[in-house]
């Protein structure tokens, strides 16, 4: 069987929001490291690329995912993550996990198992132990920076990819919002809200305050618009405008359309992101 040739593309983000100016350069550098890790895996396909990129971002203490994730009202870390491939629309997602070293690995295990789409809390942790996914003491995720910045708004990390066979994939990971109610889930583990991928249409990933993305199913909407022929740069701009206008939401999106064209936009003062094509 032969396949058409496509130009591979990877886009990675480290969150949209209003971080202190002193943190912005490091956040961008962290995203560049995630991009490099993802790009090295691109030869194995879009899924491997986004997984590698987000695993690296989960190790970056300047970003709100796994190590360095934000704290809830009880001073605890609860992590969300998800993974989706655009061919068969397979999805794996986890929410409010406290002891999984790389939540995106657990999302992959959920996807590969295929019995469920989303597992949360202690049940997700039990599934991780059963499947041999690395767990850890929650103290591993704590940093002085997060204790100092307990009051801030939250963000997300994520990656979208389009490989040389036209396959799409997306991965996301987050600690959610600062001082969130324990057990709160945002858009990141919810297909259609914080992420969506469909081969032949496009792939999207959001970042910001998740409640607005959830109300609008914004990433699904963005992919549908690209599938109807709207180019990625236009969709990105209109998506963040719609988020602000319709529900007063803040955040950003990264996208790749069905032609492999990448785009990013935000309605905040800052979003760390990077792309590579070729």
Question: Known catalytic residues?
Answer: 156
- Cβ-based neighbour number of residue 270 at 10 Å: 19
Q: How far apart are CA 187 and CA 195, in angstroms?
A: 8
Q: How far apart are CA 211 and CA 243, in angstroms?
A: 10
Q: How far apart are CA 108 and CA 164, in angstroms?
A: 22
Q: Is the Cβ–Cβ distance between 215 and 242 less than 8 Å?
A: no
How many angstroms separate the first and last alpha carbons of the chain?
23
Beta strands across the sheet bearing 251-257 = 195-198, 202-208, 251-257, 262-266
b/e per residue, 4-27, with b = 16+ CB within 10 A? eeeebbbbbbbbbbebeeeeeebb
Q: Compute the CA torsion angle 15, 20, 24, 26 (nearest 10 deg).
A: -100
3-state helix, strand, coil in the chain (%, to 5): 35, 30, 35
């Amino acid at each position: 069987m032969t396949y058409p040739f496509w130009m591979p593309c990877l886009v990675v983000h480290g969150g949209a929001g209003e971080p202190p100016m002193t943190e912005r350069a490091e956040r961008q550098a962290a995203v560049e490291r995630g991009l490099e890790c993802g790009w090295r895996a691109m030869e194995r396909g879009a899924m491997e690329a986004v997984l590698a990129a987000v695993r690296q971002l989960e190790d970056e203490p300047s970003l709100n995912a796994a190590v360095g994730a934000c704290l809830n009202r009880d001073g605890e870390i609860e992590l969300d993550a998800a993974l989706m491939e655009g061919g068969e629309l397979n999805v794996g997602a986890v929410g409010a996990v406290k002891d999984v070293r790389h939540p995106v690995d657990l999302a992959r295990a959920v996807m590969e198992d295929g019995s469920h789409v989303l597992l949360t809390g202690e049940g997700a942790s039990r599934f991780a132990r059963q499947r041999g996914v690395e767990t850890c003491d929650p103290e591993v995720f704590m940093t002085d920076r997060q204790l100092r910045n307990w009051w801030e708004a939250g963000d997300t990390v994520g990656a979208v990819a389009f490989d040389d066979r036209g396959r799409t994939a997306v991965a996301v990971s987050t600690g959610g919002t600062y001082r969130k109610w324990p057990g709160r889930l945002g858009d990141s583990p919810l297909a259609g809200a914080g992420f969506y991928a469909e081969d032949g249409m496009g792939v999207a990933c959001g970042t910001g305050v998740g409640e607005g993305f959830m109300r609008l199913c914004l990433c699904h909407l963005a992919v549908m618009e690209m599938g109807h022929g709207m180019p990625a740069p236009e969709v990105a701009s209109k998506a963040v405008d719609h988020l602000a206008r319709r529900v007063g939401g803040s955040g950003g999106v990264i996208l790749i359309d069905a032609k492999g064209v990448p785009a990013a936009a935000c309605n905040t003062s800052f979003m760390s992101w990077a792309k590579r094509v070729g």
